[in-house]
Structure 1
Amino acid sequence: MAIRERIEASIAGALEVSRDGPAPPRLAEALRYAVLPGGARIRPTILLSVATACGDDRPALADAAAAALELIHCASLVHDDLPCFDDADLRRGKPSVHAAYSQPLAVLTGDSLIILAHEVLARAGDDLRALRLIRALTRRTGMPHGICAGQGWESEPEIDLVAYHRSKTAALFIAATEMGAIAAGHEEEAWHDLGALIGEAFQVADDLRDALMDADTLGKPVGQDALHDRPSAVSELGVEGAFARLDDILAGAIASIPSCPGEAALARLVHLQADLIVPKARAGSRA
């Protein structure tokens, strides 16, 4: 089964867990709305690609890890879009969850997805490997190094830009590479830098898209960094400087891939993701 098919099947299975027994119908519907149809599924794709490169000796566990990671990502989008944060009414080309279902249900949807992610992993196994997966996901979700910390930096009078980007965007990419290695029985430390660099690249690319592209093309509001006076690679380095930084980071990410049977395939994956994000932003800069 192809990686994308594995991801979608594991997410569908996870959502069925959320419907096990009587449940509030609108909240159950909002959970599915937040997750389906998905975006690029980049984080779980990286996770399963790393697991495959490391041998993928327990594919069911790797699939559960991929679903859990994507559920956390979707939860973060639901919360990010709320009026108290980005106040975005559009996500993936359709109304955001709070616009479609109300703010209270959006809060509950995000919370429910976070809990569901951990339940999916808990159901997948009760051995040390499964426990390490739960620990890795939790570490990159909360404080002080997870996506909650990334959102928290936006409320500080002074922002550590490196820490802000590392926790806001890179955290789940670090989780992807670390969890992929763990799922296949490997130690995660060697895979930290690859995730951190991919995450940094996506943050710079996201800053560029926010500054240069339009909402119809991107499928969500643009100009949010300037509107909310948030730090970004574009405000710090300028457009050309941000593009140069992006190229440097991607080269470093490829160089950081640990030696493994699937090393060449992973390098091709990073190149592929670069081809997906860089031309779109560059096209915007020429518009």
Structure 2
Amino acid sequence: MNKLNEFETQWVTKINEYLTSQLKQQIQQPLLNEAMTYSVAAGGKRLRPLLTLATLTTFNVSITEDRLKAATALELVHTYSLIHDDLPAMDNDDLRRGKPTNHVKFGEDIAILAGDALLTLAFEWLTTNQLSTQQQVQLVAGIAQAAGPNGMVAGQVDDVANEANQLTLDQLMQLHKRKTGDLIHYAVLSGLIMADATDYTNWLQFADSFGLAFQIYDDILDVTSNEADLGKPVAQDGNKNTYPNLLGLDGAYQKLATTIEEGRQALQLAEEQTGLNTTLLESFFSYFKLNEEN
């Protein structure tokens, strides 16, 4: 078992229990509670809050309930984005994490409202804790920028608006930096904020490399995996701007390997600069299986 697997074993169950218990306590409207909990509790890798907790651990900062609350707020935003992404007006997907999507289960109206509620609840969680006011402000600003009109939403618009246009590699990377990468960037940033770090540069370069690698790998899996393993439809990206479509499958694997190496180099520089052990964060790259490992 590698360090990532050990960290997942230590924290994923705690993250899941915290999410579901807090939703049960806080959401008074029964149908809304059911719809929100349905998607939050559907599973998932929890990579984003895990990255935040791993950043705190790397900086030798204890994971208190307040810091766990702030870390899991990001999962609420991520889940909202998935609910809305699956809607008929967007990707029109019927399956997510091996279960019917939220709008299939509850209808479009309730799904939209459940997503809205998860997004706004995230901001509540970032400000109803015992973190310092300065940290709360930085966290709220960070997640708003990552998820908002210059971040994830902008990336989603780029994706929808360019379905019929062939993008260059630089354009595709910029699209995915916003759509996927910015929430992962924030996952590490939030850990740095709560750790009172002073220099973010190399840590955020790692985050950006991981975010790009995550999207490349997701595109690869749409070609190479199957619905049972992924828990969602595959072969959905035939006419879309993806790395395999632009670079070919071998080229996408090569880009993945290069991106992972860039992230590892950033962590090495961070370790040399601070003296902190970056092995845990580096282990997150074990999530990706390179071509020669398949």
May I ask how many residue pairs the two structures share in their alignment?
273
Q: Which residue of 1 aligns with 2:174?
A: 163
**2:200 — aligned with what?**
189
* CA gap 1:131/1:60 in 2 versus in 1, 3 angstroms: farther
Aligned equivalents of 1:112, 1:194: Cα separation in 2: 31
- 2: CA distance, partners of 1:248 / 1:114: 34
How far the C-alpha of 1:61 sits from its partner, in A, is 3.3
1:206 aligns with 2:218: yes
For residues 50 and 264 of structure 2, the distance between their equivalents in structure 1, rounded to whole angstroms, comes to 16
Identity of aligned residues (%): 30
- Partner Cα distance (2:22, 2:67) in 1: 13
Aligned pairs for 1:117-156 (under 5 A) are: 117-124=122-129, 125=131, 127-144=133-150, 146-156=151-161
Q: Is the 8 A contact 1:225 1:232 kept in 2?
A: yes
C-alpha contact 2:39 2:79 (8 A) present in aligned 1: yes
Q: 1:181 to 1:13 in 2, by over 3 A?
A: farther
Amino acid at match of 2:280: A
**1:57 Cα deviation after fit:** 4.5
Give the alignment's Cα RMSD to 1 decimal. Answer: 2.1
**Residues 14 and 116 in structure 1, CA contact (< 8 A), matched pair in contact too:** no
Residue 62 in structure 1 maps to residue 98 in structure 2: no
Q: Which residue of 1 aligns with 2:187?
A: 176
Whether 1:15 and 2:23 are equivalent positions in the alignment is yes
Question: What pairs up with 1:1-287 in 2 under 5 angstroms?
Answer: 2-19=10-27, 22-23=28-29, 25-57=30-62, 59-124=64-129, 125=131, 127-144=133-150, 146-157=151-162, 160-187=171-198, 189-190=200-201, 191-226=203-238, 229-257=239-267, 258-259=270-271, 260=274, 261-267=276-282, 269-274=283-288, 277-278=289-290, 283=294
**Deviation, structure 1 residue 4:** 2.2
Give the direction of change, closer, same or farther, for the CA distance of 1:197–1:116 in structure 2 (3 Å limit).
same
Indicate conservation of the 8 Å contact 1:254/1:270, yes or no. Answer: no
Q: CA deviation at 1:164?
A: 0.5
Distance 1:239 1:183, change over 3 A: same
SS in 1 for 2:88: coil
User: Using a 3 Å threshold, how does the CA distance of structure 1 residues 187 and 7 change in structure 2: closer, same or farther?
Assistant: farther
Q: CA deviation at 1:137?
A: 1.0
* Secondary structure at 2:128 match in 1: helix
Q: Which AA in structure 2 matches 1:166?
A: K
Identify the range of structure 1 (170-179 vs 186-195) with the bigger mean alpha-carbon deviation. Answer: 186-195
The answer to which of 78-87 and 125-134 deviates more is 125-134
Higher deviation after alignment, 204-213 or 49-58: 49-58
Instruction: Work out whether residues 14 and 120 of structure 1, in 8 Å CA contact, stay in contact via their aligned partners in 2.
Output: no
Whole-Å Cα distance in 2 between the matches of residues 243 and 130 of structure 1? 39
CA 156–12 in structure 1, closer or farther in 2 if over 3 Å, else same: same
d(CA) in 2 for partners of 1:104, 1:77: 15
Distance 1:231 1:123, change over 3 A: same
Q: How many angstroms does 1:126 deviate by?
A: 5.3
Deviations, residues 88-144 of structure 1 (Å, cap 9, x unaligned): 000000100001110111111111110111111110245101211111111100011
Other structure's SS at 1:231 match = coil
CA 1:196–1:17 in structure 2 vs 1: closer, same or farther (change >3 Å)?
farther
> 1:225 & 1:187 partners in 2: Cα distance?
41
1:29-57 CA-to-partner distances (Å, cap 9, x unmatched) read: 01000100321111111110011111225
**SS in structure 1 of the partner of residue 161 of structure 2:** coil
